[in-house]
Chain A
Amino acid sequence: MLRDIIRKEIMDNVGTLKFVVTFVVVILLVISGLIIGSKNYTEKVGDAQQRLGTNREVLAAQNNWINAGYVGLFEAKVPYVLTIVDSGIDDSLGRQAEINLDIDTDLDESRNLVSPILAVFGNVDITFVVKIVLSLFVIMLTYDAISGEKELGTLKLALANEVPRYKILLGKILGGYSVILIAFILPMIIGLAFMMAFYPDVLGAFTADTWLRLLVIVGIYVVYLGVFFAAGLFVSSLCQRSATSFIVLLMIWVLFVTIIPKLSLVAAERLRPYESYTSLQTKAMKEIAQGRSEILKEFSDQSRFAQAAQKGELAEMIASIFEKQSEFQQEVLDKYDRQYEQQQAAQITLAESIARSLSPTSAMSFAVQNLAGSGWARQTEYLDQLRSFQQEFRNYVFEEMKNLDDSDPQKFFESFMGDKELEVQQSRINFQFREEDFAVTVSRTIWDIGLLIVLAMVFFAASFVAFIRYDVR
């Protein structure tokens, strides 16, 4: 009997206009989303690779290691390949960094800053399709699942047979969910096939790790749709008229998808405000200016230079001036910048916690962003690794500065003012980002995934209880 119910549910729904329209729209959006995502990804990777080659050229063209140190390296962030599925907030995040002796490195020039028109409308990626289109489809599917059948009179007819109530609901659940899966998984497979055909390079960038992540992402999407499905059934079994359940469900959708995420930020800003960077920066700049002039004063003594030249330690002394300045500046920045970053991160974390506990849409977004590397987590990790690399590069420059030929003042002068090309070791100026381990990422998202599953279970259980007591007359 259960199988008959399931089959009836599927047949009923697959033939409807709403299914056909949704299916066509989803296929088109998934295909275009993946193709466009792949195009963007390929461009960004191309940019970054070009950079690796020219960094060495540019450094070698400088005359001396001080200039080289100040000109430094240009790094471009390589996005993670799964940004083709979920673009997250990547377009708003900086993607270029300068590594040199002077400024503390940072990721700047987000795509939206360069092309602000992109910021006006969001990206149409797979997450968008699931979050907006498919969840609305699920609501349209379920709002009249129970109340609609009651209105049509078919509910009491079904129950006039020897079918226990729970089986009817179970049949609806299994049947309806299959329809949703068909509307989602089929287009995904077709879309991936298209992507592989047009962008085989992107496919080449997929490691085993990547496939695992993609699998988990699809799983999260499916569970997310399950939450809305269960909520739809629940509300439908609470209302006598389908028009009411419809309005309620639409309100719930608006609440979860738009209102709660936005208000969580507002709440977090009230609950955990932080001191503006301006006052911190003023203090920091004052300290830096003072410290630098003191260091310079130390070396204004001409006799020290003369002494060092005699002992053949001129290069080392000059290098140590730069080193000291650099270390000192970094210390001050560490104190103030990191403090500010921590406070800011605390507010973001609070906003996220509020959002994910109250809205399954936020929980889904964060989880997918973590796995696809399109969120805040990968950005902070990237910046951390860039900072360690910055120290390594600076050490390399200081080393080279110390190795200057200072056996003879003329030769020393030559090496500062000369136009001979520098010998740059490629291995010391290459930055390779180490992606986070799959296991680590999953452990970070387990909370969100768990929330979604629990929410779906709760709604399913509630719909059972409601349906058992439903007045079918």
Chain B
Amino acid sequence: MIWDVVRKEIRTNISTPKVFITYIVCTVLILSALVTGAVTYTQMVEDARQQTAAEKDRLKNVFNYQQDFLVAGQNVYRVPSALSVLVSGVEGDSARRGNVNTMAGATFDVSKFNSTPVLAVFGLLDLDFIVKIILSLFAILFTFDAVSGEKELGTLKLNFSNPMKRSSFIIGKLIGNFVLLIIPFVIPLIMGLLILEFFFPAVQLNGEDWVRLGLIFLAFMLYLLVFYSLGMMVSSLTKRSSVSFLVLLMLWVFFISIVPRGAVLVAQWFHEVPALEEVKKDFARGIGPNTGELMKKLRTKVQELQQQLISTRPRKPVVVTDEYRERMRAWEQQRDQASQEFQSWLAEQYQEFTQKIQQEGMKKVEEMNKKQNVQTQLAVNISRYTSPAAALTFSIQRLAKSGVYSSDDIFQEQVRGTVATFSKNATDVVKQHPEYLNQGFGGGQPIDVSDQYIDTTSFKHESLDVSIASSLVDLAVLVLLSVVFIAVAFLAFIRYDVR
């Protein structure tokens, strides 16, 4: 009996405008999203490759070691995960470039010419958006009059004049309509993936990526099931379909925008995070006095040396004797040695100086980042348990490695980890070649520092088990909600007044 109901549902509805429109909308949006995502991703990969090559080139010809290398540092570029083609996450707002230098440690920016502000204006078109907003609305559209509509039309009581079990009816409806909702989503998705496979070679998915993709698909299905069952539930609780629609629409707006945003606000309220400006300000304040100290030391040392050399310099006699020349030579030797010693001392002082500045600055930034992470975690936790939309977004962003936690954070962490080694190596070089510090006004030969380039190919993305562990929570929330809604729909329908 159930399968008859399923077949009836599919047959009656498949020729309705709503299925047709859903199919058209899905096809257009999914294909546009995947193609656009793939084009953008290909561009980003190419950009990162070119920029890395250009940076290595630059490092081969550094003129002013201090200004152009120690202070300006070197740039490292991040390549987003291939799955960001499907779920772009917060890519538009993530750091694409990191800069490692001896003064501020590690800084990050979106590098204006890598982020397109137009994305902020229009918002990214990706699968997350399509499923979360459009398809959930369609899920409501399919179900709001599933029960109350049939009652209004009078067909409901006709059905039960037959020996039909109520449970078969509701189960059949649930299955039938869900199939109708899912098919227009799955078919374009498969088409899209095929297009990616054949036309966009830069989008490489390895075995692990396919597992993640499978889980993302599961998340989408569960999410749609939540709204679908919500629709059925409300429809079985109300007598008039206009009422069920009003309620469902309000719930939709509520779950998708208001609750998640509210959760973020609550988290911010509980956990204030000091502004980055404070940190930068303190850092800038510190540079002056620290430089002043260094300069004082320098002055005293230079004066000492000057006194020493001047006092030991042999006086030039009226007649230049060989003895004089010899003593002069000895003195010159002394002078050269003193000069070299001075330069090594200078290099050491400089290394100390940069370490001090860096430590102070980086410590504050790290503190701030920790606080930020606590706040973010709180916001995530509050919203994922109160809104299925939030649960969906967090789980798929985690799986696609394009979210609040994943790509950017891990990249930043790993870059920060290279600072200590970089500073040490860079300033060690200065100890060996103290003349590098003098190259400012004098021109001189270009220096090749490309062997100090930080290799980001060893940087890792978040591992699969960590992503799964995190998103499992969200999937569980979705499953729980669906089960509750279906159960209530079932019970409500058993007691539904079909007259």
Contacts A21-B246, A51-B277, A61-B289 given: A264-B122 contact, CB under 8 Å? yes
Given contacts A115-B375, A376-B121, contact A258 B133 (CB under 8 A): yes
Please, which residues of chain A bring their CB within 8 A of the CB of B375? 115, 117
**Chain A residue, CB-CB nearest to B67:** A102
Contact of B285 among A61, A268, A278, A419 (CB under 8 A): A61
B118 touches A265 (CB 8 A): yes
Q: Are B90 and A120 within 8 A (Cβ)? A: yes
Q: What's the Cα separation between A300 and B442 when bound, in Å?
A: 5
A116 pairs with B296, CB closer than 8 A: no
CA A114 – CA B404 in complex, angstroms? Answer: 11
With A281-B54, A299-B441 known to touch, is A124 a contact of B257 (CB < 8 Å)?
yes
How many residues does chain A have at the interface if contact means C-beta atoms less than 8 Å apart? 93
Query: Would you give the shortest CB distance from B246 to chain A, in whole angstroms?
Result: 5
Contact A278 B289 (CB under 8 A): no
Residue B273 interfacial (CB < 8 Å): yes
Enumerate 22 A-B pairs (CB-CB under 8 Å) in ascending A order. Answer: A36-B265, A61-B288, A67-B288, A112-B90, A113-B94, A113-B109, A114-B372, A117-B379, A119-B90, A119-B93, A120-B393, A121-B390, A133-B253, A250-B141, A262-B29, A265-B125, A285-B54, A285-B58, A300-B442, A340-B113, A344-B117, A348-B121
B295–A119 CB distance below 8 A? no
Name the residue on A nearest B32 (C-beta): A266
Interface string of A289-301 (1 = CB under 8 A from B): 1001100110110
Contact flags B71-98 to A (C-beta < 8 A → 1, else 0)? 0000000000000000000101111000
Partner of B284, one of A74, A268, A337: A74
Residue-wise interface mask of B (24-52) relative to A, using a CB-CB cutoff of 8 A (1 in contact, 0 not): 01001100100010010001001100110
- Chain A hits for B119, CB < 8 A: 92, 265
Of A21, A74, A92, A112, the most chain B CB neighbours within 10 A belong to A92
Determine the main DSSP class of A at the interface with B.
Answer: helix
Q: Is A282 part of the contact surface with B, judged by Cβ < 8 Å?
A: yes
Q: Is the CB of B281 within 8 A of A17?
A: no
B134 interfacial by beta-carbon distance below 8 Å: yes
16 other A-B residue contacts (CB within 8 Å) besides A120-B260, A262-B32, A282-B57: A54-B285, A74-B277, A113-B95, A115-B273, A117-B267, A121-B383, A132-B257, A262-B29, A265-B125, A269-B36, A269-B39, A285-B58, A300-B441, A300-B444, A351-B118, A419-B296
Residue in B64, B90, B125 whose CB lies within 8 Å of A262: B125
- Beta-carbon contact of A262 and B117 below 8 Å: no
> Which residues of chain B are near A306, meaning CB under 8 Å?
none
Cβ of A226 under 8 Å from chain B: no
Q: Which residues of A contact B372 (CB under 8 A)?
A: 114-115
A355: B residues at CB distance < 8 A: 122
Contact B17–A247 (Cβ < 8 Å):
yes
Give complex CA distance A261, B32 in Å: 13
Contacts of A74 in B (CB 8 A): 277, 280-281, 284
Nearest A residue (CB) for B284: A58
User: Known contacts being A58-B281, A132-B253, is A67 close to B137, with CB within 8 Å?
Assistant: no
A292 CA to B443 CA, complexed, in Å: 9
Does A296 lie within 8 Å of B443, measured CB to CB? yes
Q: Mark B104-126, 1 if CB is under 8 A from A, else 0.
A: 00000110111011111111010
B261 within 8 A of A: yes
Contact with A along B440-463 (1 / 0, CB 8 A): 111110100000000000000000
Any A CB within 8 A of the CB of B410 = no
Please give, as numbers and ranges, the residues of chain B lying within 8 Å of A110 by CB-CB distance.
Answer: 93, 110
A2 within 8 A of B: no
**Interface residues of B toward A: which range?**
35 or more
Within 8 A of B (CB), among A317-352: 321, 337, 340, 344, 347-348, 351-352
CB distance from A27 to the nearest CB of B (A): 13
Determine if B245 is an interface residue (Cβ-Cβ < 8 Å): yes
The DSSP consensus for interface residues of chain B is: helix
The interface residues of chain A lying within 8 Å CB-to-CB of B113 are 277, 281, 337, 340
**B291 near A62: Cβ-Cβ < 8 Å:** yes
A309 proximal to B (CB < 8 A): no
Whole-angstrom distance between the alpha carbons of A108 and B390 in the complex? 28
B104 smallest CB distance to A (angstroms): 12
A57, A114, A119, A244: the one within 8 Å of B276 (CB): A114
Contact B376 A116 (CB under 8 A): yes
* B145 interfacial contact with A, CB 8 Å: yes
B249 at the interface (CB under 8 A from A): yes
B317 interface hit (Cβ, 8 Å): no
Task: Please tell me if B264 contacts chain A, counting CB pairs below 8 Å.
Answer: yes
In the complex, how many angstroms separate the beta carbon of A179 from the nearest chain B beta carbon?
A: 15
Q: B54, A25: Cβ atoms under 8 Å?
A: no
On whether the beta carbons of B36 and A266 are closer than 8 Å, the reply is yes
Contact of A254 among B25, B47, B149, B265 (CB under 8 A): B25
Q: Closest chain B residue to A107 by CB distance?
A: B112
- How does the 8 Å CB contact mask read for B247-283 relative to A, with 1 for contact and 0 for none? 0011001000110111011010000010111001100
Per-position binary interface string of chain A over residues 138-156, scored 1 when its CB falls under 8 Å from any chain B CB and 0 otherwise:
0010001000000000000
- Chain A residues, CB < 8 A from B120: 89, 92-93
In the complex with contacts A352-B121, A376-B121, A71-B295 CB distance below 8 A? no
CB distance from A6 to the nearest CB of B (A): 23
Chain B residues with CB under 8 Å of A243's CB are 145, 149
Contact B295 A293 (CB under 8 A): no
Does B474 reach chain A (CB closer than 8 Å)?
no
Using Cβ atoms and an 8 Å threshold, which residues of chain A touch B134?
254, 258-259
Interchain CB contact under 8 A, A266 and B243: no
A140 interface neighbour in B61, B90, B249, Cβ under 8 Å: B249
The answer, yes or no, to whether B193 is at the interface (CB within 8 Å) is: no
Q: Which residues of B contact A114 (CB under 8 A)?
A: 276, 372
Does B63 count as interface, using CB distance less than 8 angstroms? yes
Whether A262 contacts B109 by the Cβ 8 Å rule is no
Whether the pair B47, A278 counts as a contact (CB closer than 8 A) is: yes
B287 proximal to A (CB < 8 A): yes
Check A63–B280 contact: CB distance below 8 A: no
Smallest beta-carbon distance A86→chain B, Å: 13
Contact between A251 and B39 (Cβ–Cβ < 8 Å)? Answer: no
Pick from A116, A264, A289: contact of B61, CB under 8 Å: A289
A63 touches B408 (CB 8 A): no
- In the assembled complex, the Cα of A305 lies from the Cα of B408 at a distance in Å of 49
Whether the Cβ atoms of A29 and B261 lie closer than 8 Å is no
- Chain B nearest CB, measured from A213 CB (Å): 20
Q: Which of B141, B258, B408 is packed against the most chain A CB atoms within 10 Å?
A: B258
